[in-house]
Amino acid sequence: MTMVLVTVALTGQSVRAHEEDHQTEDQLRREQLRIAVQEICPISGEKLGAMGTPIKVAAGDSKEEVYLCCEGCTNGKIDQKLWGTIHRSIAKAQGKCPISKKDLPRKPKSTVVEGQVIYVARLASIEEVQAEPEAALLQVDEFYASYIKEKKQREKKEEKREHN
Ligand SMILES: [Zn+2]
């Protein structure tokens, strides 16, 4: 399998696209959750999935992994406004701290582990996330999953209302 190497300017930093060979079902589920939570491409603003399978890239020094809507965007530049919007969506979807399980504050602290941004309620929790990243990631998967489920149910209800 070929490794796609691209650079995208992100405030002077670069992103790198990469493909993974064999993904387990858990990893696939995690990817799908993350795409659903990210919602839009940080370069075009297009909805992820609207232009085919989103492309994962690593952005900046923290190597945070984000998804782009299409191949064409790998030559683009990350829009800082969209970047902010995406991170507000991610924090909202996460909702709670994976360590304390408490609601996240309005401006939560964050860290990037294994390419994924994780928000915490208290600065001290960052160390705990970094000490056991997989446990935190699994917990965040569950927060995402229940957020997405609730959101879908809400949309269904709204749709019903519109048709009546
Ligand atoms: Zn695109």
Listed by start position, the domains of the chain span: 15-163
The whole model's pTM is what? 0.84
Q: pLDDT by residue (tens digit) across 93-130?
A: 999 999 999 999 999 999 999 999 999 999 999 999 99
**33 by DSSP, 3-state: which?**
helix
CA of 73 to the centre of ligand 1 (A): 4
Q: Would you state the pLDDT for residue 109?
A: 97
Q: In what order do the strands lie in the sheet with 64-68?
A: 15-17, 55-59, 64-68
CA of 85 to the centre of ligand 1 (A): 17
Q: Would you state the pLDDT for residue 36?
A: 97
CA of 61 to the centre of ligand 1 (A): 22
Residue 15 contacts residue 57 (beta carbons within 8 Å): yes
CA of 16 to the centre of ligand 1 (A): 15
CA of 52 to the centre of ligand 1 (A): 9
For ion ligand 1, residues whose CB falls within 5 Å: 44, 69-70, 73
CA of 59 to the centre of ligand 1 (A): 16
Q: Would you state the pLDDT for residue 111?
A: 97
Helix boundaries (H) for 8-77: 25-38
Of 110, 30, 15, give the one whose Cα is nearest residue 68. 15
CA of 56 to the centre of ligand 1 (A): 12
Label residue 161 exposed, middle or buried (CB < 10 Å: 0-12, 13-18, 19+): exposed
Segments of 45-114 assigned E as strands: 55-59, 64-68, 109-113
